[in-house]
Amino acid sequence: MMNTQADQFGMKEALAQLGVKDINEGTSTGQHNFSNGTLLESYSPVDGQLIGKVKQSTPEDYERAMQAATAAFKTFKLMPAPQRGELVRQFGEKLRKHKEALGKLVSYEMGKSLQEGYGEVQEMIDICDFAVGLSRQLHGLTMHSERPGHRMYEQYHSLGVVGIISAFNFPVAVWSWNTALAWIAGDVCIWKPSEKTPLCGIACQNIIAEVLKENNMPEGISCLINGDYKIGELMTADTRVPLVSATGSTRMGKLVAQAVAGRLGRSLLELGGNNAIIVTPDADIKMTVIGAVFGAVGTAGQRCTSTRRLIIHESIYDKVRDAIVGAYGQLRIGNPLDQHNHVGPLIDVQAVEAYQRALDQVVAEGGKLIVPGGVLSGEGYESGCYVKPAIAEAQNHFQIVQHETFAPVLYLLKYSGDVTQAIEIQNGVAQGLSSAIMTNNLREAEAFLSVAGSDCGIANVNIGTSGAEIGGAFGGEKETGGGRESGSDAWKVYMRRQTNTINYTTSLPLAQGIKFDL
């Protein structure tokens, strides 16, 4: 039963608007949801209350979903791309209508601040707008043939069924990054949302279901399956799924990559990050504090782009450290639906335990906690998922610093040389997602962005590591997986490329001047 605290923020109305019904009875069903198995309970980390239950998918449910998807693909790929774009445009309009309700659900089920919840839905709207334009620009290349009377060009065709495995920290946006581009490419999608945020999946499917029904389109264009890793394994092993897009931990990504590669399929991986901001002597300290604090504590440190390490030059180390510590003293921790709070809860008690282990380990390895953190209890913190953001002075080689802890733990690292040394420290981890440098020195900025600079997929100057715009391709290198989603030419991942040669003469010359006369 939803408690009074959550209800005062309009959660009942929001859930009803999204079609997540019978919430007080603990049941929830959605269109395009191929699930008839045991119940999966969703508890809010905000207050520990049961929000609702969804049925998990069985192997038989998965097979029905695949059959619906493969059947839908046969007709959907034949629809002109601009018409597919019109469906995506309508989906974006529905999201505008439901932005407040869906943003509240994201905040309540996942635990991020309400503004971040709204922002995540805005990302969905933005990728729809981006995809609509792309639907008229799925272009190939034309090149000159070495053979007279021949024309060569490349074109892109629809790929098939795209499997999507998403994580709890962005329960709706990452799905939309994939689906909006997949749909304009003529692909159909099967989505397995995180078992920690299943109601967000139900809500999104209900919204797209309205669009498909209004346009008399087959439901198999968008299918939802719920459950744990076992239902995901069916997808990664299925040869009918040419592309699996998986977002999550590096451990999970390696398992997905091995399974998909074993059948020579494609995988798009967005995995762990261990992101750093370099702070040079020429940095603007005020900008540094803003970027570092939001990067470290936004979404309670549960973004793949969260700032984990702050690499500070020794000449300004004390000044930057004191400014960051002072800013942490102003943070308000509490119900994320209350927009006066800066930091909400971690996703569950297991995440809290990982946070506590990280703090213990950094001390055991020789680090020093300068903002000690701790688990909050008492009124407003009944879920047991609220923690204080912590700061530790550490060394880059510490095992815990090399590891990504999905919690608000920031490590301060000191360097004494030039920017080259700082870049070496930043690159000295297994992950390679996001990175940043704070400097007003043009040479340092350019060195950071050069081929000898940051080895990450994202490299920023005078902004933090957290956050990305739809127009740019999002993703990272090394153990982050190498995938690219969202903007730029990421649409090509969802299509197959074909090279075409047309001979419009009456003779058949061979390439490279080979003679084969009969």
- Which residues participate in catalysis according to the annotation? 270, 304
Tokens at residue 399, please? 């095992």
Residue pair 294/464 in contact (Cβ under 8 Å)? The answer is yes
Amino acid (1-letter code) at residue 71:
A
Token reading at 108 = 């309540």
For 367-396, the DSSP string reads -EEEE--EE--STT-TTS--EE-EEEE--T
Task: Count other Cβ atoms within 10 Å, centred on residue 514.
Answer: 7
Q: The tokens of 12 are what?
A: 């009942």
Rounded to a whole number of angstroms, the CA Rg of the chain reads 25
At residue 445, the 3 state secondary structure works out as helix
Query: Residue 503 is encoded by which pair of tokens?
Result: 């001979």
In angstroms, the CA 64 to CA 412 distance is: 51
Nearest to 456 by CA among 438, 486, 477, 472: 477
Helix (H, G, I), strand (E, B) or coil at 405: coil
What is residue 492's three-state secondary structure?
helix
Q: Is the sign of the CA dihedral 23, 88, 141, 158 positive or negative?
A: positive
Stretch (H or E) spanning 143: strand 142-144
DSSP H stretches of helix in 46-166: 59-76, 81-97, 99-110, 114-134
All residues at 6 or more sequence positions from 326 whose CB lies less than 8 Å from its CB, including other chains:
none
Q: How many helices (H) and strands (E) does the chain have?
A: 16, 23
Structure tokens at 61: 């449910």
